[in-house]
Structure 1
Amino acid sequence: MQNRVDIKNFIVQIERDFSVNKWQVNGIHLWPILRIKLCFFLIYQVESEKNDFKQNVSGSAPVISTFRKKLFQIKRNFQKAKESLKFYIWKSKLPQKNYIFLGGDAHRVNYKNARFNRFFDVLISKYAIENQSLYFEYGNQLEKNQYQPEKVYFYEKFFLGFQYLYRLKSRQVNFNWTGFSLFEDFLLSNELTHDFILKNNRTEIENWATSLFLPKIAFFTEVIRKIQPKQIHFLCYYSDFNYALLVAANQLKITTVEMQHGPQTDIHLSYGSWTVVPSEGYAVLPRVFWNWDENSASVLNKWMQNNTTYKVKVIGNPWMDYWRAMSQSYANNNFILYSLQPNPITLEQLFTPQLLDCIRSSSEIWFLRLHPRQMNEKDALINFFKKENLLHKINIEAATNDPLPQLLANAKLHVTHFSGTTIEASFFNLKTILLNKNGLVSFPELIAKNQAIYIDYKDEDFVSKFKSNLISLEKPEISPIFEQPIVSNLFP
């Protein structure tokens, strides 16, 4: 396997060759979770720069006296009771709301003197459903100053108390592994997938499902019965807690909605190229997908067209729509905006000698926008540009902290490897230079419409090609891909 297309083809072939829909726990299909985990694992294997390291192995475990063991057990039981009480108190305070919105601080921006969710807060305000809505936030309240904090609830830390209670009752767990051993043997025989199946074999999955997955489903079943929502909205549905919440909500016939947060292509296997979805659907997938544009929606419609369980709505990009309707006054203009991307894209790939030459020789300032998962790398990046004597040619603070739509509305050119910002740039008629071959398969429609061009960051003639495109820069030949959003009946 050389790229994401190969990964997609490999996994689609697995769906053809193995009885993936037979693998279930208590009737819940496990394949979607395995498929997405395998996809991201292979992306890391194929694209990342691997570093060998050795783990420190500790010596023999210290001997603990019987008295200390009993004392530890007493403290442990007291802690369990304390955590269980915390869960009950937290649950008792949950209000009844029509709409739950799932997100994290990575989906928020600094706006209105607070951390503003750029995907959902605009919609909540537009449809005047503030009093009917609450947020479930990922994590453990590490970030403060959320916008309208009274609506934000952190749930992960209360799962521990529920988990203690869950274990007190005997539960029946039924697995179906028809044909799974053949799948295990197949992955074990492949050098790229050997380590994956060692960590995701039958025993490991059964332990995970019994100790974590099923308890989380039960946790969310209790929680949403208390809240009684009509709809639950997700950003990045593919995480353990979200899978469990989806199962609970889908089983209770509550509408589950995924809001597009980036490119949705045939090679993004959380969204595209599903080939064996059962007629009743997968319990761990949202039932409705809200898309930014028709191109994204078409990726999902390819596999949904014969399955009435799922629906797609094109609603536009709420954050971009919001800013397009506002004045675009901004202190900076005619800069080059570079949307950076995190691991597996490395610093060496982001800033090759050729690209540094472009920064050094261009008359424009380069705005380097950090991905939310790169915030802890800012100091390293600044030091890197100090050593290159290029600190005066870049701007990281404004590029990262100012609203993306303001940047896109005032930039001269957008550059990225294959970030979903490419779609958002087209909304402002801003051309993108794609540096990575993944951009070719992620944005073929934009390339065809001259809204994006591809220059391989490893190309020997990169500098001359980049400068040529910068000098002859023209606006795209046609209007942006965003048509009038379909926004009817989003919140019935």
Structure 2
Amino acid sequence: MKEENQLMKNIFHTLEANFPVENWKVNGIGIWPYLRIKIYIHLLSISINSGGRQEKKNDLKKTTVIAKNRHSIITDFLVAFKGFFNFLRELKTKKIVFFGSHSQRVLHEGCWFNRFFDSMVNTYKIDKEVYMVEYLQELDNTYNPNSIICLDKNLNFYKTVFFWRKRIKRKSDIYLKNYDLFLNYIQQELNISPTELRIQESNIIDWTNKIIFLSGFYRIFFKRVKPSKIVFAGYYGWDNLYAAIYQANKMKIMTVDSQTNHMVFSDWTKIPERGYDLMPKKYWNWDEISKNNIDTWASKTNDVLAYVVGQSYLGYCKSKYQNSSDEKIIFFSLQTFELEEMIPNGIISFIKNTNYKWIFRLHPRNTFTPQELSVFIKNRVVEDLNYEIQDSRSVPISEVLCSCFLHITGFSGCLLESKMMGVSTILIHPLGEEMFEDYIDEKTVFFVNGKDDFFYEKIIEIISNLEYKISISQNFYIHNPLD
């Protein structure tokens, strides 16, 4: 599997070596980041779902076309116009615009707290200096509610008011040298259908027109707010966010992504001197390894920079880093796979033959319910297992880690937070070995394939040589986002 993941890296090296991807532009937009990330996610889904396991596909939403009379169209327009006008009227000048999601929030002292950004805002008392754009679901009872902007609602106002802009006929400005050869290559050599992936030239033209249309919303928004920077915690995969980055870069507003080590940010071999206009210019990294990962390609540009800023929420909650229990607890962080993939037979055997307490922590976007997990555990493991199922947003991870002596996961980014908290991690999925190969040191971070015939023996050996707590050497500095 590790060889397969290395092959995935080699695929992008080959594509970037054989095609002028850094020069491809449609309607003024450098499209390679969009293509590369889309292909990567496609390959990743194939890798995840290999071995006979079928992917759970979401049912396509059926769109019912409802004929509207002239009166209802006018009414919708007037409602949207009033809503958009009120939105603009209430906007104030702010120094920072954060883009966040409800899945990034945790329940902290009675309110939903964005674990990436709100700790910075609260520590430096800059509540009135920021906006928090929620690009998915908007929760009630959030921290700093006066800063919240619901992106979907206000974008829909914009789309209704400025619908006519979509109908403007433009002559497309296209530079896609050897793009037909590229599409033929990925179809013949990678078995990727450009039609199914919607990356034919006509698809790319439509997509760039969409980004340009959406960027009009941000041009108005940013002109009103006048931010010095916009900050994301994972920008890729969302057209609404691509449009925000594109427009901010165009307006010379600093664009920042707060992230950890990830393939999306890795192994770029071709990049324009000033970077891509669909990617951030600055990166706030949790640790030095993540920073070095960015530096390997950012050094080829003149304005893309990476910094180590730590994980601010851990620093914010450092007063809780006290283990008041002598009970040995194992923390198991789950992903969005099916349960049989996440909890292989090796783990089940380990659970049955040991006497630890387990905390199973759900992924923010898990595809199964706590009840389904409970039934799985009872049917596959033992009825009287001492365990707890936690919603990742209801219990702060700092609170969980301070009571655990070991973290087990397939490939969760919780590994970094565990390491900062002094808790050793055992990775049990090959994707974890690939994603975190720079962290595996056989001292604090280990890899044992969960499907290995001798998994139980190997994990027991690791635990027998494992100190109860590794030293906490991480500097829990809380970064000031205004710096």
Partner of 2:102: 105
Output the CA distance in 1 between the equivalents of 2:218 and 2:304: 22
1:76 paired with 2:96, answer no
Stretch deviating more after TM superposition (440-449 or 110-119): 440-449
Aligned AA (1:372): P
Q: Does the C-alpha gap of structure 1 residues 298 and 55 become closer, same or farther in structure 2, counting only changes over 3 Å?
A: closer
Verify the 8 A CA contact 2:218 2:244 in the aligned structure 1. Answer: yes
State the Cα distance separating 1:484 from its structure 2 match: 7.1
State the Cα distance separating 1:77 from its structure 2 match: 4.2
Can you list the C-alpha shifts for 1:286-321, whole angstroms capped at 9, x where unaligned?
111011111110000001113121111111110112
Verify the 8 A CA contact 2:232 2:257 in the aligned structure 1. Answer: yes
Partner of 1:23: 24
Unmatched runs of 5 consecutive residues or more in structure 2: none
1:335 paired with 2:326, answer no
Can you list the C-alpha shifts for 1:324-349, whole angstroms capped at 9, x where unaligned?
3445355684210001111xx32111
Partner of 1:87: 84
Match of 2:54 among 28, 50, 53: 50
Output the CA distance in 2 between the equivalents of 1:277 and 1:171: 31
How does 1:289-308 map onto structure 2 within 5 Å?
A: 289-308=283-302
How does 1:345-356 map onto structure 2 within 5 Å?
A: 345-356=337-348
Verify the 8 A CA contact 2:230 2:254 in the aligned structure 1. Answer: yes
Verify the 8 A CA contact 2:312 2:478 in the aligned structure 1. Answer: no
Output the CA distance in 1 between the equivalents of 2:34 and 2:4: 21
Aligned AA (2:112): R
Output the CA distance in 1 between the equivalents of 2:395 and 2:327: 13
State the Cα distance separating 1:36 from its structure 2 match: 0.6
Partner of 2:273: 279
Output the CA distance in 2 between the equivalents of 1:104 and 1:314: 23
Aligned AA (1:156): D
Output the CA distance in 1 between the equivalents of 2:478 and 2:306: 11
State the Cα distance separating 1:89 from its structure 2 match: 1.9
Verify the 8 A CA contact 2:363 2:392 in the aligned structure 1. Answer: no
Output the CA distance in 1 between the equivalents of 2:396 and 2:70: 51
Output the CA distance in 2 between the equivalents of 1:390 and 1:106: 31
Match of 2:311 among 317, 322, 329: 317
Q: Does the C-alpha gap of structure 1 residues 76 and 413 become closer, same or farther in structure 2, counting only changes over 3 Å?
A: same
Partner of 2:233: 235
Q: Does the C-alpha gap of structure 1 residues 25 and 161 become closer, same or farther in structure 2, counting only changes over 3 Å?
A: farther
1:121 paired with 2:121, answer no
State the Cα distance separating 1:106 from its structure 2 match: 0.8
1:204 paired with 2:213, answer no
Aligned AA (1:217): S
Partner of 2:458: 465
Verify the 8 A CA contact 2:408 2:426 in the aligned structure 1. Answer: yes
State the Cα distance separating 1:91 from its structure 2 match: 2.0
Partner of 2:220: 222
Q: Does the C-alpha gap of structure 1 residues 52 and 331 become closer, same or farther in structure 2, counting only changes over 3 Å?
A: closer
Aligned AA (2:328): N
Q: Does the C-alpha gap of structure 1 residues 467 and 125 become closer, same or farther in structure 2, counting only changes over 3 Å?
A: same
Verify the 8 A CA contact 1:99 1:232 in the aligned structure 2. Answer: yes
Aligned AA (2:27): N
Partner of 1:370: 362
State the Cα distance separating 1:276 from its structure 2 match: 1.0
Verify the 8 A CA contact 1:368 1:400 in the aligned structure 2. Answer: no
Verify the 8 A CA contact 2:287 2:309 in the aligned structure 1. Answer: yes
Aligned AA (1:318): S
Can you list the C-alpha shifts for 1:152-208, whole angstroms capped at 9, x where unaligned?
111222212322343424364423222211111112224631266652211122223
Aligned AA (2:85): Y
Q: Does the C-alpha gap of structure 1 residues 198 and 31 become closer, same or farther in structure 2, counting only changes over 3 Å?
A: same
1:155 paired with 2:148, answer no
Partner of 1:379: 371
1:359 paired with 2:351, answer yes
Q: Does the C-alpha gap of structure 1 residues 195 and 298 become closer, same or farther in structure 2, counting only changes over 3 Å?
A: same
State the Cα distance separating 1:375 from its structure 2 match: 6.7
Stretch deviating more after TM superposition (166-175 or 251-260): 166-175
How does 1:128-147 map onto structure 2 within 5 Å?
A: 128-141=125-138, 143-147=139-143
Match of 2:261 among 244, 264, 267: 264
Output the CA distance in 2 between the equivalents of 1:226 and 1:364: 56
Can you list the C-alpha shifts for 1:267-295, whole angstroms capped at 9, x where unaligned?
x1x21111111012111111110111111
1:213 paired with 2:211, answer yes
Q: CA RMSD in A?
A: 2.9
Can you list the C-alpha shifts for 1:411-455, whole angstroms capped at 9, x where unaligned?
021100111111111112211111012222333343226111111
Can you list the C-alpha shifts for 1:51-109, whole angstroms capped at 9, x where unaligned?
599999x9xx99x9xxx95x535423432342233222222212211111111111110
Partner SS for 2:249: helix
Partner SS for 2:131: strand
Q: What TM-score comes out, normalization by structure 1 length?
A: 0.88
Q: Does the C-alpha gap of structure 1 residues 364 and 242 become closer, same or farther in structure 2, counting only changes over 3 Å?
A: same
Aligned AA (2:363): H
State the Cα distance separating 1:43 from its structure 2 match: 0.2
Unmatched runs of 5 consecutive residues or more in structure 1: none
Output the CA distance in 2 between the equivalents of 1:419 and 1:93: 40
Q: Does the C-alpha gap of structure 1 residues 274 and 53 become closer, same or farther in structure 2, counting only changes over 3 Å?
A: closer
Verify the 8 A CA contact 1:367 1:399 in the aligned structure 2. Answer: no
Output the CA distance in 2 between the equivalents of 1:178 and 1:207: 18
Output the CA distance in 2 between the equivalents of 1:272 and 1:427: 22
Partner of 1:13: 14
Aligned AA (2:229): Q
* Count of paired positions: 474
